[in-house]
Amino acid sequence: MLERIFNFGMRYIIFTISFLLFGFTKSSSQNLSSDQAAALSRAYQDKALWFREMPHFNRDSTVFYFDRAVLLLQNSEPFQYELLADLYRDITDRANRSHNFIVVDSLAPIGWSYYEKIPESKKDKVLGYDLLINWALIKIIRGEPKAGLELFINAQDLLEDDPRPEIQLKLLKNKGRFYYQYGLPEEEEIGVKYLKESIEGYENSEYAERTEALVLAYKLLAYHYLFEKPDSTDYYMNQFAELLPEITNPFHHTWFSYNMGDILVEKEQYAEAKPYLFKSIRLLEEYNLTTIDIYQFAHYLLSNAAEAEGNFDQAIEYCEIAKNASIEIETKSNTAYFMEKLSTLYALKEDYKTALEYYKEFSEINNIIEVERNERSLRENELEANVLKQDQELVANQQKQIIYIAALTIGGLLLVLLYRNYRLKKRSNQTLEALNGELANKNELLDKRNAENELLLKEIHHRVKNNLEMVKSLIALQSAQIDDPATKDAMIASQNRVQSMGIIHQKLYQGTNLGSIEMKDYFLNLSEGILDSFNAEERVKIEFAMDNLDLDVDTAVPIGLIVNELLTNALKYAFPKNEQGTIHISLAKTANNNLKLKVDDNGVGKVVGIAPKGTGFGSQLVQLLTQQLNGQMKEHSNQGTHIEFDFLLKKSA
């Protein structure tokens, strides 16, 4: 009792200080410099983190100081987006659970919006990754796997090329965590594999997040093997126990004690289980965490132990506490579960009246859950009206014990018969609902598979682009060691050809459409690279007289190589002695849905009677690619060189 009064008093003091400091922070922050506001906000943030740890853990104080830190920065100018994003990373960290799932889901996009406003040159990709991972895991917990997968993919894209060992280990840990919680058996097995690999890395490291990462992996693996391989569960629980002295997060301590109790109750070792369950309850009450569902189920396990020992009164007492804790935080499914258990316990005591009352309450709550789950309305049926009427008759005849028991028995039988009749009438609807649910599950599975395939295809294009970049670099390295000008020119031309293909794969994995390329943007990137290779940015201008046009990969690659050859040829021969000039490129669909490509320059053109310069390989390549696209090429020289192609596109089957 004294402890509860003390906790209430502490919360009242914190509330009062919060009210006073709210006005102070809002007014005084206007008078602080940006450096002073940042320093004070950091102090508030450190204090909030300090209150997350045992033995001084206090959720109210943590939330209070986080709110002060955020408010201070929001009222300080200029806005310090990096500090705000860093604050929200701590606030949305699920390992510490300062807020419930719904609140965290609403705060996560705010933190991400602050990160997006940080100038690109100052963005810390690890910070962005952590914000997205926090958000993705909340989406998975809240039953939104598709949204969670999209956030997870975006997070992976930020750090996948970071070579630092600690970053790669972080990616491995979170991949294991995400896949395990994703919801499908195949993904769970993949998650287990990643979690085991992360354990090997963290056990041999000294990284700051080592303990938290190992605790997370041990917890998930202990759950995974609970029924299939109890020995493995015992192993991971023992590993967890060795870390307990290093752990200052009370959630981990309460989970460990509760889970040990759960395992021992499952083994019917009730005497050994009780100390763990009592310790879990004591920690939850000490740190004002009785709204965590573990608090309910720890009492429920104690109820099971008392029932097994034949102490029904004590079993009922523990189950009542579990029920009341569930009602307090409105976890309806848990409440219904405990109501049904209480009905069974009173029946074992042969108190059938109370048993029936609890069964009625269980039925009512269960009906409400069904309404919410299926998004449809169910009204009170005739059965409930009959039971209510029967209860009124029993109250009027309390002195007639025999009649009372007989009526109660008849009422129970009537309840069973009417319920059975109700279930038979609803059987056809339930069958239809089951089929609809199966279809929804298959559609959800298809969405997941499509998203995974898209991620894999992006990864393939990314690797192809990287390999082409490596080929280009090898050619450049080789050409640097060659003195012969003709050979060096040939090597540079090869580099440009490889680059033209690499740009296409880069556009594919960076874009939203994996099946097509926007050609105007592609030509722009291609021309910039070629101008740079000839050091001609200042004297030659390339203009694009075309609208945006999307083409499939099989068409875009040969057209890109053709344009690459024509640009290379123009830069080498059309403007001798560093003359200035202009090259025009256009690509458009014609009325009959074919393609017309034009490449013009205002250079010296070709002189009749003089053999073309070069090896002729480029011209042969252009001719072969034109034939591949069922095209025709026209060329004439009049105030420069003008080349025109007509490509006959194949009709889709």
Residue 618 C-alpha from the chain's centroid = 48
Other CB atoms within 10 A of residue 119 CB: 8
Phi, psi of 229 (to 5 degrees): -135, 80
The pLDDT score that the predictor gives to residue 461 is 63
The pLDDT score that the predictor gives to residue 393 is 52
Three-class SS of residue 540? strand
- Encode pLDDT of 37-55 as tens digits: 889 999 998 998 899 888 8
Q: Is the pLDDT of residue 198 over 60?
A: yes
Other CB atoms within 10 A of residue 3 CB: 9
Residue 509 C-alpha from the chain's centroid = 20
The percent of residues in the chain predicted with pLDDT above 70, rounded, is 82
For the ranges 525-534, 560-569, 614-623, the lowest mean pLDDT is seen at 614-623
- Encode pLDDT of 241-283 as tens digits: 898 898 888 888 988 999 899 889 988 999 999 999 999 999 9
Strand partners, 6: none
Helices assigned H by DSSP within 142-164: 145-159
Higher pLDDT, 493 or 446: 446
The pLDDT score that the predictor gives to residue 14 is 43
The pLDDT score that the predictor gives to residue 327 is 84
Three-class SS of residue 362? helix
- Encode pLDDT of 557-567 as tens digits: 899 899 998 99
Report yes or no: 583 and 543 within 8 Å, Cβ to Cβ.
Answer: yes
pTM of the model: 0.50
Q: How large is the average pLDDT for residues 430-438?
A: 77
Q: Is the pLDDT of residue 119 over 90?
A: yes
pLDDT band at 611 (very low <50, low <70, confident <90, very high): low
- Encode pLDDT of 273-297 as tens digits: 999 999 999 998 888 888 778 899 9
Residue 536 CA to residue 544 CA, distance in Å, equals 17
Q: Is the pLDDT of residue 382 over 50?
A: no
pLDDT band at 642 (very low <50, low <70, confident <90, very high): very high
The pLDDT score that the predictor gives to residue 459 is 65
The pLDDT score that the predictor gives to residue 529 is 84
The pLDDT score that the predictor gives to residue 131 is 94
Among 160-174, 323-337, 425-439, 498-512, the range of highest mean pLDDT = 160-174
Residue 77 CA to residue 31 CA, distance in Å, equals 10
Strand partners, 636: 642
Other CB atoms within 10 A of residue 161 CB: 10
The pLDDT score that the predictor gives to residue 13 is 46
Among 105-119, 332-346, 532-546, 606-620, the range of highest mean pLDDT = 105-119
Domain boundaries, the chain: 443-647
Q: Record the tokens describing residue 172, joined without a space.
A: 């491995």
Using DSSP bridges, classify how beta strands 540-544 and 581-589 pair: parallel, antiparallel or unpaired: parallel
The pLDDT score that the predictor gives to residue 401 is 66
- Which secondary-structure segment (H or E) carries 631? strand 631-637
Q: How large is the average pLDDT for residues 483-489?
A: 74
- Encode pLDDT of 207-237 as tens digits: 888 988 898 899 889 888 887 888 898 898 8
- Encode pLDDT of 530-551 as tens digits: 888 888 888 999 999 898 888 8
Residues 6+ apart with CB under 8 A from 600: 583, 584, 640, 641, 642, 643
Architecture of domain 443-647: 2-Layer Sandwich (3.30)
The pLDDT score that the predictor gives to residue 375 is 43
Q: How large is the average pLDDT for residues 365-380?
A: 54
Report yes or no: 190 and 179 within 8 Å, Cβ to Cβ.
Answer: yes
The pLDDT score that the predictor gives to residue 494 is 75
The percent of residues in the chain predicted with pLDDT above 90, rounded, is 26
Among 266-280, 323-337, 459-473, the range of highest mean pLDDT = 266-280
Residue 346 CA to residue 336 CA, distance in Å, equals 16
The pLDDT score that the predictor gives to residue 474 is 72
Report yes or no: 393 and 403 within 8 Å, Cβ to Cβ.
Answer: no
Other CB atoms within 10 A of residue 409 CB: 11
pLDDT band at 609 (very low <50, low <70, confident <90, very high): low
Q: What mean pLDDT, rounded, does the chain reach? A: 81
Among 199-203, 495-499, 609-613, the range of highest mean pLDDT = 199-203
pLDDT band at 398 (very low <50, low <70, confident <90, very high): low
pLDDT band at 154 (very low <50, low <70, confident <90, very high): very high
Higher pLDDT, 145 or 353: 353
Q: Is the pLDDT of residue 20 over 60?
A: no
The pLDDT score that the predictor gives to residue 71 is 93
The pLDDT score that the predictor gives to residue 372 is 52
Rg (CA), the chain: 35
Q: Record the tokens describing residue 221, joined without a space.
A: 């693996």
Q: Is the pLDDT of residue 389 over 60?
A: no
Higher pLDDT, 385 or 219: 219
Three-class SS of residue 518? strand
Question: What's the CA angle centered on 70, arms 64 and 71, to 5 degrees?
Answer: 85
Q: Record the tokens describing residue 609, joined without a space.
A: 């009677």
Alpha carbon dihedral 556, 560, 561, 565, in 10-degree steps, equals 160
Q: Is the pLDDT of residue 365 over 80?
A: no
Residue 379 CA to residue 368 CA, distance in Å, equals 10
Report yes or no: 195 and 176 within 8 Å, Cβ to Cβ.
Answer: yes
For the ranges 110-124, 355-369, 459-473, 540-554, the lowest mean pLDDT is seen at 459-473
The pLDDT score that the predictor gives to residue 7 is 44
The pLDDT score that the predictor gives to residue 597 is 94
The pLDDT score that the predictor gives to residue 552 is 87
pLDDT band at 144 (very low <50, low <70, confident <90, very high): confident
Q: Record the tokens describing residue 583, joined without a space.
A: 């090259």
For the ranges 91-95, 289-293, 333-337, 488-492, the lowest mean pLDDT is seen at 488-492
Q: Which long-range contacts (CB under 8 A, 24 or more apart) does 444-453 make?
A: 444/145, 444/146, 445/184, 447/146, 448/145, 448/146, 448/149, 448/182, 448/184, 451/146, 451/149, 451/150, 451/153, 452/149
Q: Is the pLDDT of residue 346 over 80?
A: yes
Q: How large is the average pLDDT for residues 557-581?
A: 89
